[in-house]
Structure 1
Amino acid sequence: MTSRFEQLAVDCLEPRRLAAFWCAVLDYTVHEDRDGELVEIGPAALAPLDELRRTPVAPQIVFARGHTTKIRKNRLHLDVCPIDSDQAAEVQRIIALGARPIDIGTAKEASWTVLADPEGNEFCVLRSLAPGHFEE
């Protein structure tokens, strides 16, 4: 028996705002919006069920209204990789979308950059996967 990673659930104060931010970062679209209380985003084309059964696919993210603000470092976070620009350009693009740089004590020589989304959730921008930046 096997399971697939299908969704990541995020409790937040403003589901629509956070969903819009992550749609812009990941090039996702909104698949469901339940009056701003729960917003589900994912790739523009959802994988058919038979594909989901055969192989892992990009997960959806569900933002659900919670009633508490974030108070400490995340125990789980997302890592994103630019696919068509270098890391520095992607960091600047994401900051322009509403992220902010944060210091969580990462070593200066780290190959990633730590940012926080509009509600303070940490995530990392890793190396670029763009042609010429990352070769197999």
Structure 2
Amino acid sequence: MAFDLQVVVDSTAPHELADWWAEALGWQVEPQDEAFITRMVQAGAASEADTMRHRGALVWSLGAAVTSPEPGRPRVLFQRVPEEKTVKNRLHLDVRVGPERREEEVARLVSLGATELWRGAQGPMSWVTLADPQGNEFCVA
């Protein structure tokens, strides 16, 4: 039996980080159903503390997701945690753009707020490791 996969990234500001990654990848922030959230609060199934306003919309405060415009790609969920990132990721995302676009994409991502950490190569493969605005490492290859 095959299972579906979702990637989850811990974040102290999940909505802002979802916005950043949506722009970085050319994906979209998954819309949240404001009417549903309101009904859940009114019914007592959730509290006002479970919600917040982000870019004028009522959203669940716990997280936000980004999805690809192309079907079949995994959803990436940014989930609120109280602590800042303190150590190197044990898992990271590889953004595969091809060698001909790598430098252009690195420059674009840095202009959006990423930080270049290091460059690596092994055999014919090379990549640039960056950190997103909250310090999560990812590679551009």
Q: TM-score range by the shorter chain?
A: 0.7 to 0.9
**Number of aligned residue pairs:** 114
1:27-59 CA deviation, whole Å, 9 max, x = no partner? 1111134344311110236x4xxxxxxxxx101
1:62-95 CA deviation, whole Å, 9 max, x = no partner? 1111100111110000000126x61101100111
Cross-structure match for 2:3: 3
Cα pair 2:17 2:78 within 8 Å, conserved: yes
1:4-23 CA deviation, whole Å, 9 max, x = no partner? 32x11111011111101100
Q: For 1:107 and 1:58, locate their aligned partners in 2 and report how far apart those are by CA, in whole Å.
A: 26
| SS in structure 2 at match of 1:32 | coil
Amino acid at match of 1:37: L
Unaligned runs of 5+ in 1: 48-56, 127-136
Higher strand share: 2
Larger radius of gyration: 2
The CA deviation at 1:106 is 4.5
- Provide the alpha-carbon RMSD of the alignment: 2.5
Identity of aligned residues (%): 36
Structure 2 length normalisation: TM-score?
0.71
Structure 1 length normalisation: TM-score?
0.73
Cross-structure match for 2:62: 37
The CA deviation at 1:108 is 9.3
Unaligned runs of 5+ in 2: 33-58
| SS in structure 2 at match of 1:102 | strand
